[in-house]
Chains A and B, each alone.
Chain A
């Protein structure tokens, strides 16, 4: 048994023993679980992939005369922002698109530039045009504003993910006879390919399946900066069916993340265009897991072959509730480049970059070993498997016409 305080003492002295979630498996097999649990302090996990529920909120300061953006209309880099707060505060979501973007009117749409790309341009230090139209008040008389904005001129710019780090995800295929364009990439007809989106055994919540160490207030690597887990993510669904080792067999827990955009690195935050689907943002996340005891060690030793995911036909919508689950495969098979389904070999592609995830796990490991990053105690628990917390589908109720 160890405490986070003891682990931080060892990090301070430069004595912490740290492995990535890929490296720990071999080490624990060699040393035995008991010994490894005593020796190892921290295991680092990571993921890098498109996450649509990403955005930034920011404050532009005040112009002279003053302008009230809240309730007005604002674009940054031509992309609409959500102007529904105090005078100088805005929110920009990764999926936002310029008014004039044809979207899927020219099918499949290209979605070359959206909110995610604006966020990338900001981090890269580019000047972007902010254009605002407001209604004017006695205290904020100005109605129009058109100015260049640079990240260094902004007050706060906070990266906020209302959902990230999905604990497991569907494998997407297309059973129909024409190609489909989805957030899981282009899916060729007649089971032409199978796409997945998880770092598998390196992915944060698959290494802490019951959220025993990861919780509200956990300090993390967020796109090259130090960030925090702010809450559980939207669509958090911990009560799904699990394997004997506790691994969810389909999409389950999620995390909400927060950090300072000014501290992030453009290598880990990239504007993304999904053909025929939309614009989004790819985000790199690394989460340390303190090896407090043997139980935690057993979780971080999870292997790709222990993690299974449902193969879902995306030609019929995609939630397991209203679509056919065609089979179950594991991440060792997915990462090999092909899976077997319906007696056929189907090539696989990933939306999540395992190479980037591996790099992030390595960077976080180096930060901890060098005494640059200390672990934080979670201040609140995420609802776990036995909490009764569930994701609800929308039950539509048609409003009565007046």
Chain B
């Protein structure tokens, strides 16, 4: 049983198709939708946390690839620019998954990428533009 977070990009022609339900039906995978949006160009974006057997996961990804959905691992998407961070901690209580924490010894704000769900709140809350998000 493993848990992975992925970002799915749906081209315009796929936005109105039923696609991800098959992950549950045909590949026995559980998913949790972390973020979903359709942009003005009518392209879709879906951030999923997927739980299941490694084998099923790989088959599910293979299926998604065949449909024309572009897949990107989530961990590449949010990043912290250490040079811009002043370690104020304004972001910490806003992060819903505790991916931003203060090291009590060094007083530094640390970004724990594995916990990040790429909701993007930190990008807005940071007064110094130290957090960025790219899908």
Contacts and interface: CB of A to CB of B under 8 A. Distances in A.
Interface in B78-135: 86-94, 102, 106-108, 121, 124-125, 127-129
A348 B121 CA distance: 16
A168 interface: no
A355 B102 CA distance: 11
A274 B86 CA distance: 14
A353 B87 contact: yes
A20 to B, nearest CB: 13
Nearest to A183: B127
B127 A355 contact: no
A282 B86 contact: yes
A49 B129 contact: no
Given A270-B128, A273-B129, A355 B90 contact: no
A70 interface: no
A353 B92 contact: no
Contacts of A282: 86, 127-128
Contacts of A273: 127-129
A49 B86 CA distance: 9
B88 A186 contact: no
A351 B90 contact: yes
A112 B88 CA distance: 18
A79 interface: no
B92 A347 contact: yes
A349 B90 contact: yes
B93 A50 contact: no
A195 interface: yes
Contacts of A275: 124-125, 127
Contacts of A193: 93-94
B92 A354 contact: no
Interface string A348-365: 111111111010000000
Interface in A23-55: 48-50
Nearest to A108: B124
B86 A48 contact: yes
A186 B126 CA distance: 10
Contact of A347 (B88, B93, B107, B121): B93
A188 interface: yes
A349 B127 contact: no
Contacts of B94: 185-186, 188, 193, 349
Contact of B128 (A108, A272, A346, A355): A272
Nearest to B83: A267
B92 A351 contact: no
Contacts of B121: 186
Nearest to A346: B93
Contacts of B102: 337
Nearest to A273: B127
Contacts of A337: 92, 102
Contact of B106 (A195, A280, A352, A355): A355
A349 B106 contact: no
A108 B86 CA distance: 23
Nearest to A193: B93
Contacts of A195: 90, 93
Nearest to B106: A355
Interface of A: 48-50, 108, 110, 112, 185-186, 188, 192-195, 270, 272-275, 280, 282, 337, 346-356, 358
Given A274-B127, A347-B93, 13 more contacts: A48-B86, A186-B94, A186-B121, A186-B124, A186-B125, A272-B127, A272-B128, A275-B124, A352-B88, A353-B86, A353-B88, A355-B87, A356-B87
21 contacts: A50-B127, A185-B94, A185-B125, A186-B94, A186-B121, A186-B124, A193-B94, A195-B90, A274-B127, A282-B86, A337-B92, A346-B93, A348-B89, A349-B89, A349-B92, A350-B88, A351-B88, A353-B86, A355-B106, A355-B107, A356-B86
- 10 closest Cβ contacts across the A-B interface? A193-B93, A347-B93, A355-B107, A355-B87, A353-B88, A349-B93, A272-B127, A353-B86, A350-B89, A275-B124
